[in-house]
Structures are given as C-alpha cells and as structure tokens.
Amino acid sequence: MATRKKPAKRTARKAAARKRTPARKGARKVVTTVGFKDTRHKPETLRLRTAAVGLTVNDLQRSLAFYRDVVGFVVADEWKVEGRLQGVEVRSGTISLFLDQDDWKKGRERVKGEGIRIYGRTVQDVDRLAEGIKARGGVLSHEPKTEPWGERDFGLVDPDGFKITISSGV
C-alpha cells in the first residue's frame, strides 16, 4: 500500500520568493489562486501572437518569384481582381508577407523599400541558407557574419529595394 508524502514546510527562501516588489504606477495588483501577485496593466494592453508585413511591389510576379523561388517562402493565399493576380500571401514558419501589386495611383516614380528592414530569426544554419539563396540566383547585400552580440546573420534586398536580414536565434 502506497503512503502519501507530507508536503514540505515552506522555507524562508520560498517565503521570500513570494514577496514581490511594488507594482508599476497605474498597474492594479491582483492576487492569483497560487498566491503570486499579478501586476499586468488594467485594462489589459495589446498582446499580439503574430505580425505580418504588407509590401506594395512594382511587379508582383517578379516579387513572388524572388520570395518563393529564391528565398524559400511558400504561397499561402492569392487574391485576384477581375481574373488578374493582385496580391499574394507568402509564409515562412509563422511569418507572413503580403505582396500587393502597385496600382500606380501614387505615380510610377514612387520609391519603395526606403526606411524599412525586415528581420527574420531562424534556428537553421544561416550559412547554408545564404548559400542556397545564392545558388538559386539571389544576391546577398552582406555575407553571413557573426555580430558583436553573438547572432550570425546575412542580408539581401528584394527586387523593390526592401531590405531583409536573416539571423540565427541565440
């Protein structure tokens, strides 16, 4: 017959761990069922699970070929207007990019890609990824290198000038 162990007495260390520092100004303290104080903001602040980037591109077919065939994204969805391809969602893991054909209402001289860089982290070998991108016709803006903070990354630029950095997760 099995015997049940008695619960251990709380030690001074455990009791001290239960004490919490005062909450930030404006946060309401809530005691949870396990005895820890909840210092989340009330009302609750925004908590996203994913984010996606939408890019207006000059030539949707060219951009699609770059992201799918060169970088390695997969097509998740397509949008057609009057039978013509107008937009594409491409995915890599949980990351989505929405590529939308420019309608030229803001002019054909509009510069794209200025002031934005897309950062992606992976657990994959970034050196092998960079080699694969180059083998498929991609041009790197910088070769794989180890940054001072320990991540290894490389860069590339899409056909419209949007900059991309792919790095190892540390």
Provide the pLDDT for residue 99: 98
User: Helices (DSSP H) in 19-125: which residue ranges?
Assistant: 60-65
pTM above 0.85, yes or no: no
Q: 72, 50 in Cβ contact below 8 A?
A: no
For residue 61, how many C-alpha atoms fall within 13 Å in the half-sphere facing its CB? 2
The model's pLDDT over 67-97, given as tens digits with 9 standing for 90+, comes to 999 999 999 999 999 999 999 999 999 999 9
Return the DSSP state at 70: I
Q: What percent of the chain has pLDDT over 90?
A: 64
Tokens 């903070």 belong to residue: 149
Spatial CA neighbour of 73 closest among 120, 139, 125? 120
